[in-house]
Structure 1
Amino acid sequence: MHRIAHQISDGLYGLGWSTVKHLPEPLAVRLGQQIADITWRQRGKGVLQLEANLARVVPDASPERLRELSRAGMRSYLRYWMESFRLPAWSAERIAGGCDIKDIHLLEKGLAQGSGVILALPHLANWDLAGAWVTTKLGVPFTTVAQRLKPETLYDRFVAYREGLGMEVLPHTGGTAFATLARRLRDGGLVCLVADRDLSASGVEVSFFGETARMPAGPSLLAQQTGALLLPVTLWYDDSPVMRGRIHPPIEVPRTGTRAEKTAAMTQTLADVFGAGIADHPQDWHMLQRLWLKDLEPRPDDLDGGSAES
């Protein structure tokens, strides 16, 4: 059964990359909104989890407001996918004009110093478009990490897609990603990491919207080990075709404390910046998975052979 589901997923993503990129943009936008609305009305696990996550982000929201936010969230999520399917066919001019990133001078200054830069982002708006914008408009290549997906052919599709946009993609598993990232940074390079959800057992516990969650230690550890600049980034959509974003001031390495204490402090600061950006644009946070520790406790469906969302 899992094999059939994986084959279907691979086929659907393949259809998206082969077909959607040829649609006129207004038609692709409408199609994405229609798919989002249908999915939202079905009230599946992903939609319900998104709504539960948004309830923590907007704790005073009424049930009606949460439903509005989750519907807008699904439209934002499908906008991400429709853009991603179409990105390989976008011209350099379309990509360069597709983003408006504020305080880009922080990135440019960091790269000019030659000690490497780490950009850390949450799952807000379209991080792939932001990456393509960096490689296209700024002409700066970078290295990132991708979660291994099943089937392997689907993972290969994602790697090929992102490499086609000018990114170097490393697998999340296998044990060599951290060392490679550190080498790129010591050479003065750029590393971009989506860092609001931990995919390992070594995440750092943070307070996030008043409850405990785990976030990756990687960005903070890399900054300590290599001397690279750690810059948080937040992204959002508005009513225009242009995605907006901001590069935030660097997160400094504390002067005192053990490595674990420094990592905890830096990761908490990163979580605070992410939280402020998500609170400002909750509908653009594409978190359809469980995140908070309270939600990650075993459920009956997990014990019966189900799996947690990736």
Structure 2
Amino acid sequence: MKQRLVDAGFGLGWSLVKWLPEKVTRAAFTAAADVVWYRKGAGVTQLEANLRRVLPDADDDEIRKTSRAGMRSYLRYFQEAFRLPVWDRKTLHERMTITRLDRLEEASARGKGVIIALPHMANWDLAGASVTVRGYPFTTVAERLKPEALFDRFVAYRESLGMEVLPLTGGDANIFGVLARRLREGRLICLLADRDLTRSGVPVDFFGEQTRMPAGPAALAIQTGAALIPATLAYRETGIHATLHPVVAVPEEGDRKSRIAAMTQEVADAFAAGIREHPQDWHMLQRLWLADLDAERLARIEGRPTPGDRRPGGPATGTPGSGSAA
């Protein structure tokens, strides 16, 4: 029942919000964000714990002020998501400005494909739509949501914006293989890449503490020769601004694992620079750092036995979810 209500709520949002005046919906979603922030539930509490890593010198008042702005930014994402399908190409183009677009243009001209790695900042769907109307249609991956109808809504929504969306799980295709083929065709791949708390995630130092991020962007760059470009986003009064960071070079020495690790750390450093500048636009309401995980989940990520193991010396069947947003 809860899943059906969630799906119905999103359906109502896409049906209604896009037809209301933008000032009205912005005010309504801002008010909703303030209510959620004031109640300080689990998501807001975790957001503030994450912000303390980003802003280590901030006092409690500053953290609360930033988390309030963060919740407004987070709800603004949904408000704009409901309106995006009715924005024309001119609006989509105008709603995003880009620093160092030449990095994408030069990398694309090589003909080997481009991988854009992004954190969960501002409105990544608007960024994708805006890049598409600039002549760079792309492929992305979405985590399968529950209920299935909600996942289908998100896929249809993103495809309506010009994106090719591959399901992370439950599909017939080998996702890595499909992405590699798209890159060899000279196409653009965009991947959210700031959280992968699974055994396959790559350990990185992020704001001075250990976490894990996806290996996929670096692995694809090594396998295909595509350029890997980290990007960060931030809201403006109207629209968003994107910063394309320098291309992450493939190390000349080391085995595949060590090169993936070095490249993923460089991506993490670029993310940290963008998040530090615009912390209110980083939508991370989940646990991210390994220090915040309970002992059993941490053991599973690290491949160590846990009390719930089904056989001596080996982990129980199953892999914890990555928690990446669709």
Band of TM-score, shorter chain: over 0.9
Is 1:156 aligned to 2:152, yes or no?
Answer: yes
User: Which residue of 161, 165, 169 corresponds with 1:165?
Assistant: 161
Looking at structure 2, the residues matched to 161 and 182 of structure 1 have their Cα atoms a distance apart, in angstroms, of: 24
Is 1:146 aligned to 2:135, yes or no?
Answer: no
Amino acid at match of 1:126: N
Q: Which consecutive residues of structure 1, in runs of 5 or more, have no partner in the other structure?
A: none
> Could you say which residue in structure 2 is the equivalent of 1:48?
45
Looking at structure 2, the residues matched to 171 and 34 of structure 1 have their Cα atoms a distance apart, in angstroms, of: 33
> Could you say which residue in structure 1 is the equivalent of 2:78?
81
Is 1:111 aligned to 2:114, yes or no?
Answer: no
What does the per-residue CA deviation read over 1:99-140, in whole Å, with 9 as the maximum and x for residues that have no partner?
00111111111111100000000111111000000111x122
Looking at structure 1, the residues matched to 137 and 292 of structure 2 have their Cα atoms a distance apart, in angstroms, of: 37
CA contact (8 A) 1:289 1:309 kept: no
Looking at structure 2, the residues matched to 166 and 90 of structure 1 have their Cα atoms a distance apart, in angstroms, of: 13
CA contact (8 A) 1:290 1:309 kept: no
CA contact (8 A) 1:234 1:277 kept: yes
Looking at structure 2, the residues matched to 230 and 292 of structure 1 have their Cα atoms a distance apart, in angstroms, of: 24
Looking at structure 2, the residues matched to 186 and 91 of structure 1 have their Cα atoms a distance apart, in angstroms, of: 31
CA contact (8 A) 2:3 2:147 kept: yes
Alignment RMSD (CA, Å): 1.7
Looking at structure 2, the residues matched to 170 and 105 of structure 1 have their Cα atoms a distance apart, in angstroms, of: 28
Query: How far is 1:298 from its partner?
Result: 5.0
User: Which residue of 183, 186, 194 corresponds with 1:196?
Assistant: 194
Question: Which segment is superposed worse, 227-236 or 14-23?
Answer: 14-23
Q: Write out aligned runs for 1:215-230 (5 A).
A: 215-230=213-228
Q: Which consecutive residues of structure 2, in runs of 5 or more, have no partner in the other structure?
A: 298-306, 308-319
User: Which residue of 92, 112, 129 corresponds with 2:126?
Assistant: 129
Q: Write out aligned runs for 1:1-310 (5 A).
A: 4-136=1-133, 138-174=134-170, 176-198=174-196, 200-238=198-236, 240-298=237-295, 310=323
Query: How far is 1:199 from its partner?
Result: 5.7
What does the per-residue CA deviation read over 1:174-228, in whole Å, with 9 as the maximum and x for residues that have no partner?
4711110000001111000010011643000000011100000000000000000
Q: What TM-score results when the alignment is normalised by the length of structure 2? A: 0.89
CA contact (8 A) 2:196 2:322 kept: no
Looking at structure 2, the residues matched to 94 and 150 of structure 1 have their Cα atoms a distance apart, in angstroms, of: 32
Q: Secondary structure of the equivalent of 1:230?
A: strand
What does the per-residue CA deviation read over 1:49-89, in whole Å, with 9 as the maximum and x for residues that have no partner?
11110011001111111100000000011111111110001
Q: Secondary structure of the equivalent of 1:294?
A: helix
Amino acid at match of 2:203: E
Amino acid at match of 1:198: D
Aligned CA distance change for structure 1 residues 291 and 152 (closer, same or farther; 3 Å)? same
- The percentage of counterpart residues that share the same residue type is 57
Looking at structure 2, the residues matched to 45 and 142 of structure 1 have their Cα atoms a distance apart, in angstroms, of: 34
What does the per-residue CA deviation read over 1:154-178, in whole Å, with 9 as the maximum and x for residues that have no partner?
1001100000000000011247111
CA contact (8 A) 2:132 2:162 kept: yes
Query: How far is 1:16 from its partner?
Result: 1.1
Q: Secondary structure of the equivalent of 2:50?
A: helix
> Could you say which residue in structure 1 is the equivalent of 2:302?
none
Q: Secondary structure of the equivalent of 2:189?
A: strand
Looking at structure 1, the residues matched to 249 and 152 of structure 2 have their Cα atoms a distance apart, in angstroms, of: 36
Looking at structure 1, the residues matched to 66 and 167 of structure 2 have their Cα atoms a distance apart, in angstroms, of: 33
CA contact (8 A) 2:144 2:167 kept: yes
Query: How far is 1:299 from its partner?
Result: 8.1
